[in-house]
Amino acid sequence: MSLLVKPQSEKGTSRAWWRGAAIYQIYPRSFADSNGDGMGDLPGITARLDYVASLGVEAIWLSPFFTSPMRDFGYDVSDYCDVDPIFGTLGDFDRLVQRAHQLGLRIVIDQVYSHTSDLHPWFQESRSSRTGGRADWYVWADARPDGSPPSNWQSVFGGPAWTWDARRGQYYLHNFLAEQPALNVRNDAVQRALLDCARFWLDRGVDGFRLDAINYAMHDPALTDNPPAPANGRARTRSCDFQLQLHNKSHPDITKFLERIRAVVDEYGERFMVAEIGGENPEPVMQLYTQGNKLLHSAYGFNFLYADKLTPALVKNALEAWPDTPGTGWPSWAFSNHDAPRAISRWAGPEEHEAYVKLSMLLLVCLRGNIFLYQGEELGLPQAEIPFEDLKDPEAIANWPLTLGRDGARTPMPWQTAQAHAGFSSAKPWLPIGASHAALAVDGQERLPHSPLAVTRELLALRRKSEALKEGALHVTEASETFLVFERRSAGQQLICLFNFGSAAETWKPPAGERWRVLKQVGGVADGILPPLSGAVAERLA
């Protein structure tokens, strides 16, 4: 089916809707529960879309809601073209899309093309025989002469990336859980099947895709062993940390598949594709996947998602890796998401949380590229502490307590301060509400004019109406240990963006003869004096 109500491009500009867009990530299981079973669902999201639209974002990214045994909470897909019953029905999804479009919001959904669930019918058929119709749809390989796996590759979740299957008398590859066998995406029949899945959702009105772990879609077909990784001073909690992952991902042939996806997406008009690219030094791969007009529109890595400190040097290095030059792709940025500890808990102590939430949000809206906000980031939610008995994340359970896992970033959204379970559900939630989260709930912040929620709305409104922030050039002019300054320029606007991450005041004065006005400040900036943990955006006057 095709929905008739579509958001319109912004008036007065030829810019594609996604370029410079602010995109709000929703983790469906934890956003809003409509039926009292303790888990969020699609009708719950639809009921809260007015709130999302009020933030001033252009689009929503929905994490997986597809049919799945939920060994990795939806990233192990057993049916690409249906909704898992815990989230609702296809009809619920259609109503969500229609309501979002009525509110002017675009819908971007996850697509997981590097692997499926081991319960997917494709894998069940593939493992049953070496000669069946789908025998070559997954990555199978014979054992080495001593019976060991075909290569030394290690899973992201720890342990060998190969599991023996007695039915075939071979190993199958899984870069993540053993329940997530790797698709053989070199196989043309696999590519055509995945493209059909893309068309299924495009026909239902989605506006784009976030491609999960797409750099794992192809590997070195010779199954060459990865070399050991030199020590870098960081703790190694997973077996894959001991390797340079040179041969099990990011094969150059992936771009040929991306071209096929882009061609399908372009059949539907103004759509958008962004990829997640993990691993060390991801910029060359991200730029390879986004160059020109036949691949992805954008990509994002983990520059900020796993950083334990926010520094001017970190920001400068990340931004300067994406120069505004012909042929270089368009970046995307995220400070938090469902896979990483919430940024505020990584970057600031409890006594600094509110100031740092506002400062980091100001930084995010000033970055050149698309920006992603993770649900609750606008409230300043810290990482929740989950006791061992309540953990759900398989990686956290397996590696406790060295790897705390992802559950602390996936706890339910707090809607009402005084309601049971913070208004998320009438039943006990699938994960506990964060201990400090109810006090930060939406209804309480709605009443406060200077709350993190209020400031987020003001900052997103500033970005939305500024061509310099949405699409302008960026030039870093200062990046000391604690003070960051960069310019944003468009044809009709010049901005200066100032950020003091330190514990002492900083001073900024415009060059002699120039007149500037502050458009937005956080942390008490006045008369060119930036107190600790403060920032400002100023516009040059003609």
Is residue 212 annotated as part of the catalytic site, yes or no?
A: yes
Query: Of 58, 110, 207, 212, which residue is the catalytic one?
Result: 212
Q: Are 205 and 94 in contact (CB under 8 A)?
A: yes
For 209-330, where are the alpha helices, taking DSSP H only? Answer: 254-266, 283-290, 312-320
The 10 Å Cβ neighbour count of residue 47 is 15
**Burial of residue 229, with CB atoms counted within 10 A of its CB: 0-12 exposed, 13-18 middle, 19 or more buried:** middle
CA distance 71 to 332: 28
Conformational region of residue 380, where left means phi above 0, alpha means psi within -120 to 50, and beta covers everything else: left
**The residue to which tokens 């000033």 are assigned:** 366
Tokens of 52: 């999302």
Task: For 429-450, give the secondary structure using H, E and C.
Answer: CCCCCCCCCHHHCHHHHHCCCC
Phi and psi at residue 493, to the nearest 5°? -150, 140
Q: Are 459 and 365 in contact (CB under 8 A)?
A: yes
Q: Where are the beta strands (DSSP E) in 188-293?
A: 208-211, 272-276
Is residue 94 annotated as part of the catalytic site, yes or no?
A: no
CA distance 91 to 95: 6
Q: Are 85 and 65 in contact (CB under 8 A)?
A: no
Q: 358: helix, coil or strand?
A: helix
Query: Of 50, 196, 267, 446, which residue is the catalytic one?
Result: 267
Helix (H) or strand (E) holding 173: strand 170-173
CA distance 508 to 530: 8
Q: Are 242 and 231 in contact (CB under 8 A)?
A: no
Q: Which residues are catalytic, by number?
A: 212, 267
